[in-house]
Amino acid sequence: MMTKQVSDLLKIQYPIIQAPMAWLTDAKLVAAVGEAGGLGILGPNAGQDELTSDPVETAERMRQEIIKVRQLTDRPFGVMVATPRPGERIADNVFTREMLKMLFEAQVHYFAVVGSVNAELFDLIKAHHGLIIYRALTPTVADAKQAESLGADLIVATGRDEGGLLPAREYGTFTVVPAIVDAVSVPVLAAGGVNDRRGVKAAFALGAQGVYVGTRFMVTRESPLAKSAKQLIVDSTYDQVAEVSLDQRSITTKLARQFAQAFQQPSRRMNMDSKINQAGGLRPAMRLGNLDEGIVEVNTGIDTIHDVPTVAELVERLMTD
C-alpha cells in the first residue's frame, strides 16, 4: 500500500524518483517527470552530447539545464552530486567543488548524493537547507546508518538487478531493500529492476516507501536515449544481455559482445571498465545511437518493457491501480 511519507517530504504527488543516469537525462525528461507527479533528477552530462573535461564548464552546462527545467515546470526536481573519494576534501575535488558552488547559487533544494558517505558534503548541503537523497553504489547497512546520522532524508537501496554501475556485492533488490529498511528510520527507496506496477507493489511489500527508477524512464518519449537504443531495449530480452565488466552489463550489441568475450578471460577482467571508457562509455550507443560502437546498459527486467510511452503514461501505470 502506498504511503505519503516520501510524497509529502519531496512535495510531489507520487513516491517515484527518476534516477540521474549519466548522459541520459535532460530538462525535457526531468520536467516531464515533475509534471507527471514524480521527482526528476538531472544526472551527469544532462542535456549534453559532447563531453567536457573542464570543471567550470561542466558546472555551467548544468546551470543552463537547470534554467531550462524551470522554464518548463514549476514542480520540484533534483540534481545529482557525486561524492569525493573516501578521505578526499571537497576543496581538493575541483569538479565537486565547482558543481556545489553553482547548485547553491542556483538555489537547488534536492540533492541526489551518489557515492561513499562524506560528512563534509552532507554538512554543506544541510547548511544550504538542501534535502539529501543518498545512494551508495554498493549499499550496506553500515553506510545507510551513517548517512542517516549525518542527515540523509531518504536512502536508496539498490539491488544488482539495476542498470548502470552495478553494486559490487551479489545481492538483488529483494535482499537489499528489507535489510536497509530494517536498519534506518528515514524512508527507503527501492531501486533495481522496477519496470511495471508489479515491481512497485513488490517494493512496497518489502518495506520501501518509494521507488527509484532508471531503465524504464529511459524508454519514454521524452527521454534523450537515442531512438535506436529505445527500440533495441523494447525488442530485446534478458537472454540477450551479458556482463561486460565487473560492474556493467549490456544488451549484446556488436561491441558489447566483444567486451563480454574479453570479460570471460581472467587476465582481462579487471581492465574492462577502462576499455569501455576508452570506447566512450554510454555515449556512442545510448546518447548518439551508434549501436555497433557502444554498449546499452539495462536492468535485469527488460522482458517487461514492451513500448515507449510518454512519461505521464508511464507514471500513471506505475503509480495507480
Average pLDDT, the chain: 96
Fold type of domain 5-222+306-319: TIM Barrel (3.20.20)
In three-state form (DSSP H/G/I as H, E/B as E, the rest C), the secondary structure along the chain is CCCCHHHHHHCCCCCEEECCCCCCCCHHHHHHHHHHCCEEEECCCCCCCCCCCCHHHHHHHHHHHHHHHHHHCCCCEEEEEECCCCCCCHHHCHHHHHHHHHHHHCCCCEEEEECCCCHHHHHHHHHCCCEEEEECCCCCHHHHHHHHHCCCCEEEEECCCCCCCCCCCCCCHHHHHHHHHHHCCCCEEEECCCCCHHHHHHHHHCCCCEEEECHHHHCCCCCCCCHHHHHHHHHCCHHHEEEEECCEEEECCHHHHHHHHHHCCCCCHHHHHHHHHHCCCCHHHHHCCCHHHCCECCCCCHHHCCCCCCHHHHHHHHHCC
Instruction: Return the domain boundaries, the chain.
Output: 5-222+306-319, 237-297
Give the model's pLDDT for residue 172.
Answer: 95
pLDDT tens by residue, 131-189: 999 999 999 999 999 999 999 999 999 999 999 999 999 999 999 999 999 999 999 99
pLDDT tens by residue, 47-61: 999 989 999 999 999
Residue 2: pLDDT over 70: no
Q: Please indicate, yes or no, whether the overall pTM of this predicted structure exceeds 0.85.
A: yes
